[in-house]
């Protein structure tokens, strides 16, 4: 069983389209995250949810909208896709919002988004 | 400001040798945690090892150990007896409030 699963793994689309990436975790964790990894491999936090509540909302265009229907799911919807949105998007989860040793973040396999 | 610095963009190491990946951090927090993750070419992010700021012993997990020098604010990852499968990007990260602060990563290539 995959602990953090995100779909799709690859997403190729045209500029201006709207797309969604889904994420589910079966670890029973309270907190979930979305990261963007650019072409230089730099990881940037986008959003964090704790028990369906938005905790972190970094400087991200409002074309990006996270949705958490329950604490096991955190989906990412992107409107009006732009060339600069091309990147790898990672979903992650952790047991707590903050904490010490037990608060390891576990990552999904990533979604490689290519905007043409 | 909270910051993680990984000064080695890339490293080549001969198979079976030990390798040290550098990580320095800057924080004003008294309590913090440091993480290392591995990202192989397949793309997934794999948690390797964790060190808490109050942990008295350096963390170890199999062939991975963390050389934690609090006064110098460094948390270097040591991989003993490197293997070809260790070739990957390695990221150092620090817990700060509700999130992890990430370094830019080091690309490690193990030569046969």
> What pLDDT tens digit does each residue of chain A (116 aa) get?
679 999 999 999 999 999 999 999 999 999 999 999 999 999 999 999 988 888 888 889 999 999 999 999 999 999 999 999 999 999 999 987 766 555 889 999 999 999 99
Which neighbouring-strand residues pair with B34?
B51, B94
Q: What is the pLDDT of residue B2?
A: 87
Q: How far apart are CA B94 and CA A42, in angstroms?
A: 15
- Closest CB to A48 among B43, B98, B105: B98
Contact flag A112-B47 (C-beta cutoff 8 Å): no
Comparing CA positions, the residue from A38, A35, A28, A7 lying closest to residue A91 is A35
Strands A111-115 and A10-13: parallel
For residue B99, the chain A residues in CB contact (below 8 A) are: 33, 45, 48, 56
pLDDT of res. A99: 60
Q: How far is it, in rounded angstroms, from Cα B54 to Cα B30?
A: 9
Rounded Cα distance between A27 and A74, Å, is 13
Ramachandran region, residue A97 (left: φ > 0; alpha: ψ -120 to 50; beta: rest): alpha
Q: State the Cα–Cα distance between residues B50 and B89, nearest whole angstrom.
A: 17
């Amino acid at each position: 069983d995959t602990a953090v699963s995100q779909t799709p793994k690859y997403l190729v689309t045209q500029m201006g389209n709207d797309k969604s990436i889904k994420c589910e975790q079966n670890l029973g964790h309270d907190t979930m995250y979305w990261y963007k990894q650019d072409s230089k491999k730099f990881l940037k936090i986008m959003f964090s949810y704790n028990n369906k509540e938005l905790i972190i909302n970094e400087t991200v265009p409002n074309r990006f909208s996270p949705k958490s229907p329950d604490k096991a799911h955190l989906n990412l919807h992107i409107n009006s896709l732009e060339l600069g949105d091309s990147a790898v998007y990672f979903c992650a989860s952790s047991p707590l919002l903050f904490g010490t040793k037990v608060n390891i973040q576990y990552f999904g396999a990533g979604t490689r988004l290519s905007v043409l | 400001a909270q910051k993680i610095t990984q000064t080695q963009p890339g490293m080549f190491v001969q198979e079976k040798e030990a390798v040290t990946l550098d990580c320095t951090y800057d924080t004003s927090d008294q309590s913090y945690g440091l993480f290392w993750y591995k990202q192989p070419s397949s793309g997934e992010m794999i948690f390797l090892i964790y060190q808490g700021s109050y942990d008295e012993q350096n963390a170890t997990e199999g062939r991975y150990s963390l050389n934690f020098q609090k006064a110098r604010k460094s948390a270097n990852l040591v991989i003993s007896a490197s293997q070809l499968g260790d070739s990957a990007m390695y990221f150092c990260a620090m817990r700060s409030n509700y999130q992890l602060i990430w370094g830019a990563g080091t690309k490690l290539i193990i030569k046969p």
